[in-house]
Amino acid sequence: MSRIGLIDYGMGNLHSVQRTFGRLGAELVSVHGPADLEACDALVLPGVGAFDPAMERLRSAGLEPALRRSCASGRPLLGICLGLQLLFEASEEGRTEGLGVLAGRVRSLPRLAGHPLPHMGWAPLIPATASPLLPAATPEAWVYFVHSFAAEPAEATATTALVDYGGTPVTAAVWQGTIAACQFHPEKSGPVGEAMLRRWIDWVGSL
């Protein structure tokens, strides 16, 4: 079994992520600083909250440059919710730079009558570029969202799933190289979310 590190920087929904991975037979080890990364085969970057405070916490823990080096080395990483947004270069939510391991920016969801922000609740994924997370011919997947911002990858092929928001398709999941990320919460998306996490765990184990 691969050793998977859960990045604990004080802004992640750690317990639900740990419980879900545990049900799948994958025990997560806590990562608090750069030294903790070395023993990990793969990483999970969760996140709940605002962009700038999250980047500041990663920075103060010494994890900002460590995560950039880790991704550059090819170590797999799975971002969840805010964890997806932090992987990009910047966000309209804040002023600080993101990790920049994925090219692109994070934009606010459009303000539309009848569509309050945050976008909260269950919605079906729209398949885009197939990936180990969402292979071709994956059955329709309804997953759970809570977000007011969505990433715009510079490379369209990095998007593995979209979601419709008021008639506008926005990024729901990305996969590029060894970096995967979900804007939705797979750990809160029942059997469908667990199946995605199982595919990611199996992919990590196959490397």
Is 92 a known active-site residue? no
- Yes or no: say if 137 and 91 are a contact pair by the CB < 8 Å rule: no
Task: Read off the tokens for 190.
Answer: 């029942």
Is 15 a known active-site residue? no
Which pairs with CB-CB distance under 8 Å and at least 24 residues apart come from 139-142? 141/189, 141/192, 141/196, 142/189, 142/192
Task: Give dist(CA 198, CA 24) in Å, integer.
Answer: 7
Catalytic residue among 81, 119, 147, 182: 81
Is 187 a known active-site residue? yes
Burial label for 196, CB within 10 Å (0-12, 13-18, 19+), is buried
Catalytically active residues are 81, 185, 187
